[in-house]
Amino acid sequence: MRKILLTLNILAIVVMLLVGYSDYVDPREHSVLAVMGLLMPMVIIINVGFLLFWLIFKRKYALVALAGFLVCLGPIRRYCPVNIPKNPPKDAIKIVSYNVFMFNPWDIPEGEINPIVDYLVNSGADIICLQEAGYDVNGWSAIDSTFKSVYQYRDTTRKGGTAGDVLALYSKFPILSKERVKYASKGNLSEAYILKINGKKVLLVNNHFETVGLNKEDKSRFHELVHGEMERDSTRHESMFLLGKIGRNAGKRAPQADAVHELVAKYRRKGMSVIVCGDFNDTPISYTHRRVADGLTDCYVASGNGPGLSYHKSGIHVRIDNILCSDDWTPYAAKVDKTCTQSDHYPIVCWLKNR
């Protein structure tokens, strides 16, 4: 019996490795394999179960489970980092990235401030990058005037015809220039800015990559699948259907991630400092994240703790919002702030100190 369990443990380790390094699979070529990172929580839990079992019943076999965690430490840390908390230095700048879902709620009585706007203007952030920041929602003039009272430098960029296809930047530092990152998309977009931060030029890229592509019913079925609530006869069919749908949209994000990576690499070759923010619509173990983060520091992985689940609606909880920086910055105290709940995302926050 122990030999069977040991064999199963080794198989679980192999699966954890395949899932953990699935971000090296291009979703344009192998769409389902490329999104296996979604299963990372499940495979971690299974392997933790084996570790606890061996520690209780056969300690020498626990070394096998521990070896599995060591060889998969990189992906595990990307998904659920653990860091010693450090307070940000006084001269660090505060960054907030937030998909505001068009400033939901939309029925704010006249004369009252939108709770998302209230949170942001009182956040003390030096730079705010927003996604789905539609400026034709009710009361936009009041929203904009509130931001004006705190942020001298502002920009909004629209693509398409809906309020969701809008990026916004609010900055206490001058915006010197901006350019659109070129990639094909009906509604999603990335905008690159040159800011002057404390006398230094910095490339800031705000992103809202292609949606995951699941409707409300799909999200409910996905929740049932990952929580083991789906009827057994339906599991295989539904899992392949949902993973296929997610994978096809991951394939749409791949060239978007490539375009941002290439733009950042171009500026890095010139020696320019870089900050990248936004809603990647993909997990920490994905082609999108790996490609954009190549050559950059993931601020949450470097200074945050726990899985940092930034998307929190429809029974799906995952970190898809990010702040990245070049190596001339040191990140501090990155967190997903769960005190602002109006959007389907939580804001992600980090402090950066220039080295």
pLDDT one-digit tens code per residue, 132-164: 998 655 566 678 888 999 999 999 998 866 556
Q: What is the mean pLDDT of residues 3-23?
A: 96
Residue 326: strand, helix, or coil: coil
Radius of gyration of the chain (CA): 21
pLDDT at 142: 75
List the single range of 40-49, 103-112, 248-257 with lowest mean pLDDT.
103-112
Residue count (the chain)? 355
Q: What is the pLDDT of residue 45?
A: 95
Average pLDDT over residues 299-326: 93
Residue type, 215: N
The whole-model pTM stands at 0.92
**End-to-end CA separation in angstroms for the chain:** 56
Mean pLDDT of 54-65: 94
Residues β-bridged to residue 177: 194
Nearest to 197 by CA among 173, 223, 219: 173
The region of weakest confidence among 39-53, 131-145, 240-254 is 131-145
